[in-house]
């Protein structure tokens, strides 16, 4: 039904209001309709606060809920956590139909809430706008299934693929609107990761700075396989309240760090899969990698990246020694290139952000015959 799509789209839209605040929980939206009229809406605002279904149910009297249609972007929970089960609300108030975009991805609870509701005689439909709902909660889904954080690789570059001049100067490649979009990305991720050379030369704050609303600061993670920042007492002194973790040398001296993560170093530098596993064990559900080029290369070619967000400015920098987004040795043959899917482009002022998802596949055999 067309109306079902309209109401579920609305539920997905309001769910996005919780972006950045609900981690490690998902973003969820709920719309309640009676006689073709929306009588209540709700979304999960922050972790520990009422779920979307509870927020919506609080807005209307119990008699209005009976016989209504509920649209919710994720399967209602059936277990006790920080809040009571959402299924209890519907067992009490008895809507005639519940439309759910997708099942809970957690294998320990998947389908449980749906079964409880159906067993109580409530009509439950699942799968409306499922792809859109899954995209909304891609971070939550991966972490629920694997315990590993979702990894987004981000950079800002010129049309000719440079992230800095041959002297290392990079401020600013993109305009203000694109830079604000970067801060939205930081707000949406649990952690931000850069290499030690980026900290040493650029002295970034790596915090979230939004113009018209409060933002969440991610944990700052610094890769320092070579010990470049050992003994540094000046890094991040202007933002001491935002945690800094260093993945560095064993027993390294990092006065600015709140925590040092001791991980093995391989020929390519820090062991990225081991780092991500360590972060996942610490409860980090998502990581935004902002560079530099060696760090991004290590992330891409170790297979930890899930998504890229490359901001492209209408500028030419030039120079054979200018820095590129993905450095390292690179590949030998084109069939070894990393492939991406679902490429989209969004304009931010004069700049364009390209988003795509890693397929974790290469393009197949080398074509010896050429074209």
pLDDT of residue 371: 44
116 CB-near residues (< 8 Å, 6+ apart): 78, 87, 91
Decide if pLDDT at 47 tops 60.
Answer: yes
Decide if pLDDT at 205 tops 80.
Answer: yes
User: What CATH code would you report for 147-358?
Assistant: 3.40.430.10
Radius of gyration of the chain (CA): 23
Between helix 86-93 and helix 112-119 the angle, nearest 10°, is 10
Higher pLDDT, 367 or 162: 162
pTM confidence score: 0.92
Q: What are the pLDDT digits (tens) for 291-310?
A: 889 999 999 999 999 999 99
Q: Are 248 and 235 in contact (CB under 8 A)?
A: no
Q: Rounded CA gap, 327 and 317, in Å?
A: 17
Q: Are 91 and 53 in contact (CB under 8 A)?
A: no
pLDDT of residue 249: 74
Q: Are 43 and 15 in contact (CB under 8 A)?
A: yes
- Percent of residues, the chain, with pLDDT higher than 70: 95
CA dihedral sign of residues 58, 103, 340, 290: positive
For all residues of the chain together, what is the average pLDDT?
A: 91
pLDDT-derived band of residue 98, with 50, 70 and 90 as boundaries?
very high
SS3 label, residue 353: strand
Peptide bond preceding 24: is omega within 30 degrees of 0, i.e. cis? yes
Active site residue 184: no
Q: What are the pLDDT digits (tens) for 13-43?
A: 999 999 999 999 999 999 999 999 999 999 9
Domains 2-140 and 147-358 fall in the same CATH topology: no
Q: What is the mean pLDDT of residues 251-277?
A: 84
CA 220 centroid distance within chain: 15
pLDDT of residue 366: 44
Catalytic residue among 41, 53, 103, 290: 53
pLDDT of residue 240: 86
pLDDT of residue 360: 63
Q: Rounded CA gap, 337 and 288, in Å?
A: 22
Alpha-carbon distances of 88 from 5, 48, 76, 219, 366, rounded to whole Å: 26, 18, 9, 36, 58
Find the DSSP H helices in the chain.
Answer: 2-15, 52-57, 62-65, 86-93, 112-119, 130-136, 138-146, 176-188, 196-202, 272-281, 293-301
pLDDT-derived band of residue 350, with 50, 70 and 90 as boundaries?
very high
Q: N- to C-terminal Cα distance for the chain?
A: 49
Q: Rounded CA gap, 363 and 371, in Å?
A: 16
Instruction: Report domain extents, the chain.
Output: 2-140, 147-358
Closest CA to 194 of 211, 186, 250: 186
Closest CA to 208 of 185, 176, 177: 185
Q: Are 166 and 324 in contact (CB under 8 A)?
A: no
Measured at the CA of 321, the angle between CA 316 and CA 327, to 5 degrees, comes to 95
Q: What are the pLDDT digits (tens) for 131-158?
A: 999 999 999 999 999 999 999 999 999 9
pLDDT of residue 370: 42
Q: Which CATH number fits domain 2-140: 3.40.50.150, 3.40.140.10, 3.30.1440.10, 3.30.565.10?
A: 3.40.140.10
**Both structure tokens of 98:** 């519940």
Decide if pLDDT at 283 tops 90.
Answer: yes
Give the CA-trace dihedral at 210, 357, 46, 61, to 10 degrees: 120
């Amino acid at each position: 039904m067309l109306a079902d799509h309209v109401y579920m789209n609305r539920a997905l839209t309001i769910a996005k209001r919780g972006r950045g605040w609900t981690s490690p929980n998902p973003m969820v939206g709920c719309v309640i309709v009676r006689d073709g009229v929306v009588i209540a809406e709700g979304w999960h605002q922050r972790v520990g606060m009422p779920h979307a279904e509870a927020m919506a149910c609080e807005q209307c009297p119990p008699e209005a809920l009976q016989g209504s249609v509920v649209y919710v972007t994720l399967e209602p929970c059936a277990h006790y956590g920080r809040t009571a089960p959402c299924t209890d609300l519907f067992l009490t108030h008895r809507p005639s139909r519940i439309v759910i975009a997708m099942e809970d991805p957690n294998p320990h609870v998947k389908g449980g809430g749906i079964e409880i509701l159906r067993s109580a005689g409530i009509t439950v439909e699942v799968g409306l706008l499922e792809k859109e709902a899954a995209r909304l909660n891609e971070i939550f889904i991966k972490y629920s299934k694997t315990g590993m954080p979702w990894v987004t690789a981000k950079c800002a570059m010129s049309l000719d693929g440079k992230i800095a001049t041959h002297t290392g100067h990079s401020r600013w490649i993109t305009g203000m609107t694109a830079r604000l979009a970067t801060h939205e990305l930081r707000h949406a991720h649990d952690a931000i990761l850069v290499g030690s050379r980026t900290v040493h030369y650029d002295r970034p704050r790596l915090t979230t700075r939004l113009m018209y609303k409060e933002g969440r600061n991610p944990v700052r993670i610094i890769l320092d396989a070579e010990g470049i920042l050992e003994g540094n007492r000046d890094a991040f002194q202007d933002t001491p309240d935002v945690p800094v973790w260093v993945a560095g040398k064993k027993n390294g001296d990092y006065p600015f760090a709140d925590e040092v993560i001791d991980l093995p170093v391989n020929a390519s530098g820090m062991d990225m899969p081991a780092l991500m596993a360590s972060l996942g064990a610490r409860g980090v559900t998502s990581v935004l990698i902002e560079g530099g080029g060696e760090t991004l290369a290590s992330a891409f070619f170790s297979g930890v990246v899930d998504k890229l967000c490359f901001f492209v400015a209408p500028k030419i920098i030039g120079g054979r020694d200018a820095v590129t987004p993905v450095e390292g040795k690179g590949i030998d043959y084109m069939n070894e290139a990393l492939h991406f899917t679902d490429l989209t482009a969004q304009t931010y002022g004069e700049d364009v952000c390209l988003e795509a998802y890693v397929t974790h596949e290469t393009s197949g055999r080398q074509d010896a015959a050429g074209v």
